[in-house]
Amino acid sequence: MGEYKPPFHMTDSITNLVAAICEQVGRITVLSHGNLNPHLKKENRIRTIHSSLAIEQNSLSLEQVTAILDGKRILGNPNEIREVKNAYDTYELMLSLNPYSVEEMWGIMRKEAFPKDMRL
């Protein structure tokens, strides 16, 4: 079987639309105070991570991303697998931060809040 080629080319417009959709999903989550169905919340997080990384040329499928986040082993590029794990950890970290705390925001910019294996 040949490599799948989507019927579109990634453009700045598509990237901007995906970012806008992610922003709206974030707003809905904040407005609902996290009262979304936990399964739906997890599914949305997985789709967001997959879409965000696909924009950055990560070749892992939605099923592979789901398997990684479920703790299963998959065959794939180790760097792409690490990107998935780091993206998930980053979303988790963002949920634990106080957006009104200047100290926490400075800590993020200095990368103090990230685990050592996520730092550049």
CB 48 within 8 A of CB 69: no
Q: pTM for this one?
A: 0.58
**Is pLDDT at 117 greater than 70 in this prediction?**
no
What's the burial of 58, exposed, middle or buried (CB within 10 Å: 0-12/13-18/19+)?
buried
Tokens read off for 47:
């789709």
Q: What is the pLDDT of residues 61-90, one digit of tens each?
A: 999 999 999 999 999 999 999 999 999 988
Spatial separation of the C-alpha atoms in residues 28 and 34, rounded to whole Å:
9
Note whether 116 and 94 are within 8 A (CB).
no
Pairwise pLDDT comparison (54 vs 113), residue with the higher score = 54
